[in-house]
Amino acid sequence: MLLRDRLQTALKEAMKAKEADRLSTLRLINAAIKDREIAIRGESDAGEVGEAEILQIMGKMVKQRQESARAYEEGGRLELAEKELAEIAVIQEFLPRQMDEGEIAAAVEAAVAETGATSIRDVGKVMAALKAKYTGQMDFGAVGALVKARLG
């Protein structure tokens, strides 16, 4: 089942079960996807966002909520931090399993070999190869540092 269909099914189930918090988060996901589709329509004739882009949007949503939860915890607003963490849990239900450090290191090595990267100038090629294969499965901000260290 496509990710978009899974989201719609979960939205309907949350409505039927009267799960207000889950429903709210699913609506936020759909709104973010629709916002991206509207932005794309302005740029070209493409109408829908693909699976990879939906995963990117959802990954970005998780990262935003992690930052917010951290800020709320530091500010002593634990109830708001808990709400952010609950939203993260709902979003992560639809994301692929996150890779562990060993799997990420192996993926970086494979991408370096696959692209024939030899110097720091090839970081972009390696990152593009990783994004093509592992969107939603790893934090590319952290992986960028690994790739630079490997090639540097």
Residues 85 and 109 in one domain: no
Q: What 3-state DSSP class applies to 152? A: coil
* Residue that is written with structure tokens 């429903």 in the block: 23
Question: 70 and 136: one domain?
Answer: no
Residues of the domain holding 76: 3-92
DSSP 71-110: HHHHTT-HHHHHHHHHHHHHHHTTSPPPP-HHHHHHHHHH
- Look at residues 28, 26, 49, 45 and name the one whose alpha carbon lies nearest to residue 37: 49
Question: What is the domain count for the chain?
Answer: 2
Considering the domain architecture, whether residues 105 and 86 belong to the same structural domain is answered as: no
pLDDT > 70 fraction of the chain, expressed in percent and rounded: 97
Mean pLDDT to the nearest integer, 57-79: 94
If asked whether residues 26 and 46 sit together in one domain, one would say yes
Q: Are residues 121 and 147 in the same domain?
A: yes
The verdict on 71 and 121 lying in the same domain is: no
Q: What pLDDT digit, counting tens, does each position of 119-142 carry?
A: 899 999 999 999 888 877 888 888
| Model pLDDT for residues 17-57, shown as the tens digit of each residue | 999 999 999 999 999 999 998 888 877 666 678 888 898 89
pTM here?
0.75
Q: Are residues 14 and 66 in the same domain?
A: yes
Same domain for 61 and 32: yes
Give yes or no: residues 77 and 105 share one domain.
no
Helix pair 20-43, 51-74: axis angle to 10 deg: 130
